[in-house]
Structure 1
Amino acid sequence: MVVEEDSDAIDMQKRQEAYHRLQWLRSEGERMSEENRRLQRRLEELKMEQQMEQNQAAEAAAQAETTRQELTEEENQVKEK
């Protein structure tokens, strides 16, 4: 009888430990899911920011090229005079 009671107590302890591990895993899963969502949002923000910077750089390069062409044209006109 004593051995059976000890066995039951051990089984109960194991079930409780398993239940607590399950609860911990669930809460960790929820925490990690939220962290993943936060990181996904941040990644999208950074992608948009990078795209804006690339667009601005392309616009600046186009403007610089236009200015270069204008200056070259002016220089040629001055040389012709």
Structure 2
Amino acid sequence: KVFHKLIGLAGVPRIRLHDLRHTSASLLVRQGIPIKVVAERLGHQDASLTLRIYTHVYEEQRKEAALTLNDLLKDTAKQVR
């Protein structure tokens, strides 16, 4: 009840407390916080559960890492020439 009252006072869109927890975890994963740390914060005993729930965020990071590696290889190839 207090949470919903604070949301009303803040004038932000109404969300569930669980949604706030999910958002927090997603942002932590997206910032590159180790999944084990995120899992501990959420109270998950097994980090694989956290990975299964937040795979969409983790997958974005993997794609970003692949792009970075691709750019690095292109730069290296230019230097070799």
- TM-score (structure 1 length as normaliser): 0.35
Q: Give TM-score, length-normalised by structure 2.
A: 0.35
The structure in which a higher percent of residues are helix is 1
Point out the structure with max Rg over C-alpha: 1
Bigger relative contact order, structure 1 or 2 (CA pairs below 8 A, ≥6 apart): 2
